[in-house]
Amino acid sequence: MFAFYENHRENEPFRRMDIQNFHFPNHLHKETEIVCVTSGICILKIEQQEYQLTEGMIAIIFPHCVHSYYSTFDYQATIHLIDSSFLSDYESLLTAYCPKNPIFDSSYEMKNLLAQIKALDSTDDYRQYYLQKALWHLIFAQFIQVFELRKRQSEKLSLTHQILTYIDTHYREPISAADIALAVHSNVYTVSKIFANKIGMSLPLYLAHLRISYAKQQLETTTLSILEIALQAGFETQRSFNRHFLQQTNLTPSAYRSKYLIH
């Protein structure tokens, strides 16, 4: 399942995930993200700008850019996450610039390259790493031809980045705005203002999204009791967990597990 702040601990140079009707609040990460919509309509928000992606469209999200997913329609898409160090020739460009318009219709050549990437994902051959690297460099060479870039303010060391990084590490603990402010050497007012203006939701709601995302993964892949999962995710009571879970998924935890648990 897609991660929250996405401080990816797997230390993988690239990952691919197929998603369906994916909803996720504002978040950021150090990887470059490529979204390919295969059906339906996806709403992607990048740095306060909203984009509508339809079948065949591709979006690229540069490292440390705040973004979110939602849609009122059904959709399916593939997400690729590529570590910037893996794209060594483009690393300085990816951190210093971002596209003026990150959305475009995929060409035949681009679809073919991405199809080759997908085919390699199921291969255990050690040469996959080098083939992947060569293909991603070809893909980014095409991106550079398509996009007009603009200089951006550094997000890497911004207060928003520090706050979301801290939350990524501690969201399963009982944390407050005061705890976060202390950790990032700021104050509660500034933290609350960032959530209102930059993240676009309150801290409690953001924490609930992260905790429910973790809980969904546990429901899909473990046989832990619902109470155990609720407490591990950071909820104080199962009642609170059930309420937030229903609000976000329109399913009870039990119904979700029955639908998604892998036997």
Tell me the per-residue pLDDT of 24-42, one tens digit each, with 9 for 90 and over.
Answer: 877 877 789 999 999 999 9
CATH superfamily of 159-260: Homeodomain-like (1.10.10.60)
According to the model, what pLDDT value does residue 200 have? 76
| pLDDT tens string 178-192 | 999 999 999 999 999
According to the model, what pLDDT value does residue 122 have? 56
Identify the CATH class of 14-151.
mainly beta
User: Model's pTM, two decimal places?
Assistant: 0.68
- Percent of the chain at pLDDT > 90 equals 37
The answer to whether residue 125 scores a pLDDT higher than 80 is: no
Mean pLDDT of 229-234: 96
According to the model, what pLDDT value does residue 9 have? 41
User: What residue ranges do the domains of the chain occupy?
Assistant: 14-151, 159-260
| pLDDT tens string 42-83 | 999 988 789 999 999 999 998 878 888 988 889 999 999 898
Residues 152, 140: Cα–Cα separation, whole Å = 19
* Span of 16-20, 123-127, 188-192, 207-211 with lowest mean pLDDT: 123-127
The answer to whether residue 6 scores a pLDDT higher than 60 is: no
| pLDDT tens string 213-224 | 889 889 988 899
